Structure 1
Amino acid sequence: MSVQTELLPAKRTVNPLWYKFRKNPLTLVGLVVLLFIILLAIFVPLISPYEPTKIHVVERFSPPSAKHLFGTDEVGRDIFTRILYGARLSLGMGVAVVLSAGVIGTAIGAVSGYFGGRIDQIIMRLMDIVLAFPSLVLAMAVAATLGPNLFNALLAIAIIKVPVYVRLARAETLALRERLYVKAAYTFGIKPWRIITRHIIPNAVTPVIIQVTLDIGDAILMVATLGFLGLGAQPPTPEWGAMISVGWKYLLDYWWYPTFPGLALFLASCGFNLIGDGIRDILDPKANR
C-alpha cells in the first residue's frame, strides 16, 4: 500500500518595507512629522487666507490668536502663512541640492574608481582640497563670492556636498570593478562608459541613497544658515533662515516671531534625520546584525 505524500510549499517570510519601518518607532515619528509639514505646505492656499508677502502695517506684531495662529511680523505679515510657504522653499531646496550633489558625485566617483591612475589622482586631490575647508565656511565663501541669492546658495552647498558622494561611489567602484561580471563585460569589448552606467553605478547606489537621506536634514539647516547670514534667500522671500535672521532681534518683546520659524526648521530637520536613520537600517546589511 503506497502512501502519497503531498509536499506543501514552505511559507515565505514576508518582510516588506513597511514592516521594517514599523520596527523603528522613531522613524515613524519622523515620517509622520515630515508628511504633516509637506501636506500643510501643499495645501497652504486652502488653509490660510493670507498672502506671504502682503504687508498689513496696522496688524504689525500681533500676538498669536485665532486670526493669526503664529502672530505677525514687523510689517503685519502672517507668520503661519510665511512658514508654510517657506516649507516649500526650504524642503525643496534641501532635497534638490542633495539630489544634485548625489547624482554628480556618484558619476564622478564611478569614473574615478573605474579608470584609476592619473584620472583618479586628479579627481581625488580636488576632492581633498574641498574637504580640507570647514563646510560652512566654504559655503559662505562661495555664496559671498558669487553673490547673495538663492541659486548661488544652492550651488555653494552642492559644491561642498559633492566630495562625500565621490568618495562613497569611488570606494564601491573599486570593489565592483573586480567582480566577474564587470571583468567579463570588459573582456567582451563593452565600452567603459556603458560598463559604468549599466554595471557599476546601479550596484554602487545603495550607500549613496543612505547618505542622501541623511544629508537632506543637514542641507536644510545649511540653507537656513546662509539665509540667516544674508547669503541665501533675500527679503521678502518667505524662507525660514531669513525669517529667523530678522526675528531674533525682536525675541525679547515679540517671542513668537523667531520661535515658530525656528521650531519648523527643527522639526523638518529632525524628521529627515529620523527617516534617514531608518532607511540606513533597512538598506545597510551591517546595521541589521
Structure 2
Amino acid sequence: MEMQVEKPVFEPVSVQRKSLLWYKLQKNPMTLVGILLVTALTVIAIFAPCIAPSDPVKINILDRLEAPSVKHPFGTDEVGRDILTRVIYGARLSLGVGITAVVIAGLIGSSIGAVSGYWGGTVDQIIMRIMDIILSFPTLVLAMTLAATLGPNLINAMLAIAVVKIPVYVRLARSEALSVRERLYVKAAKTFGLPDWYIIIRHIIPNTITPVIIQTTLDLGDVILLVATLGFLGLGAQPPQPEWGTMISTGFKHMIDQWWYPTFPGLAIFLAVVGFNLLGDGLRDILDPKSAR
C-alpha cells in the first residue's frame, strides 16, 4: 500500500504579499490613522457637491458671522457664507493643487535625476549645480517670489511650488541612478548596444520609483502647508475661492470675537498635514527595508 504524502499548500504570491502588508500595517497603527485621515479627506474632496450643505460662494448678509449652530455647524463668515461648506470645498482645492504640484515635481525631478545619474560627467555637474542654486534659497521665499512674478492665482502658486520641489526629486533619483547604472543588467544592455534613452526608461527610472513615491507622500503635507501659506499671503487662491489659507487670512482679523472663522480651516490643514505625514512615514517603513526600525 502506497503512502500518500500530503503536499504542502502554498498561498499565491499576491496573497502572501497582502498578508505581509497587513502585518506591517498592524505593527504601525499610526499608519492606519494616516490612511484613515487621507481617505476621509479624499472622499470629502471628491464628493464635496453631495456632502456640502450649501453653495460655497452664496452670500447671505442676514446670517453673517453667526456662531456654530445646528444650521451652520462651523458658523458663517463675514458675508454669511457657510464655513463648513467652504472647508469641504477647500479640500478640493488644497488637495488637488498639492497633489498636482507634487506629481509634476516628482515626474520632472525623477526624470532629470535619472538622466543626470546615468550619464554623469559634465551633464551631471551642470544639472546638479543648477539644483544646488535652487536649493540655496529658502523654499517659502522662492515660492513666494515665483508666485508673485507669475501672478497671484492658484495655478501659478501650484507651478511655483512644483518648481521649488523639483531639486529634491532630482537628487533622490540621481543617487538611485548612480547605484543602478553599475548593476549587471544595465551593463549588459550597454554591451548589446541598446540606446541610452531605452536604458533610462526601461531600467533606470523604474528602479527609482519606490523612493520617489515615498518622498511624494512625505512632501504632500509640506506642499499643502505651502499652498495655504501662499493663499494666506494673497499669492495663491483669490476670494471668493474656498481655499483654506485664504479663509484663514480673511478670518484672522475676526479671531478675537469670531474664533470659529479661522479655527476650522486651520484644523482642516492640521488634519491633512498629519494624515499625509503619518502615511508617508508608514510607506517608508513598509517599502524601504533600509528604514526598518
Q: Structure 2 CA distance, aligned partners of 1:95 and 1:22? A: 27
Identity %: 66
Please name the residue that 2:7 is paired with.
8
Q: Which amino acid aligns with 2:214?
A: I
Deviation at 1:47, TM superposition (A): 2.8
Deviation at 1:3, TM superposition (A): 7.2
Please name the residue that 1:230 is paired with.
234
Please name the residue that 2:134 is paired with.
130
Q: Cα RMSD over matched residues?
A: 1.6
Of residues 266, 277, 281, the one that matches 1:277 is 281
Q: Which amino acid aligns with 2:156?
A: N
Higher alpha-carbon deviation: 207-216 or 4-13: 4-13
Please name the residue that 2:47 is paired with.
43
Please name the residue that 1:253 is paired with.
257
Equivalent residues in 2 for 1:27-106, closer than 5 Å: 27-106=31-110
Please name the residue that 2:208 is paired with.
204
Deviations 1:223-262 (A, max 9, x none): 0000000000011000000000011110000000000000
Please name the residue that 2:271 is paired with.
267
Please name the residue that 2:24 is paired with.
20
Deviations 1:57-105 (A, max 9, x none): 1110011011111000000000000000000110111111101100000
Deviation at 1:286, TM superposition (A): 1.4
Please name the residue that 1:145 is paired with.
149
Q: Structure 2 CA distance, aligned partners of 1:48 and 1:151? A: 24
* Aligned partner of residue 124 in structure 1, secondary structure: helix
Q: Which runs of 5+ in 1 are unaligned?
A: none
Deviation at 1:46, TM superposition (A): 2.5
Provide the TM-score with structure 2 as the length reference.
Answer: 0.94
Q: Structure 2 CA distance, aligned partners of 1:127 and 1:45? A: 41
Q: Structure 2 CA distance, aligned partners of 1:50 and 1:7? A: 65
Higher alpha-carbon deviation: 250-259 or 36-45: 36-45
Q: Which runs of 5+ in 2 are unaligned?
A: none
Q: Which amino acid aligns with 1:14?
A: Q
Deviations 1:109-128 (A, max 9, x none): 01111111111111000000
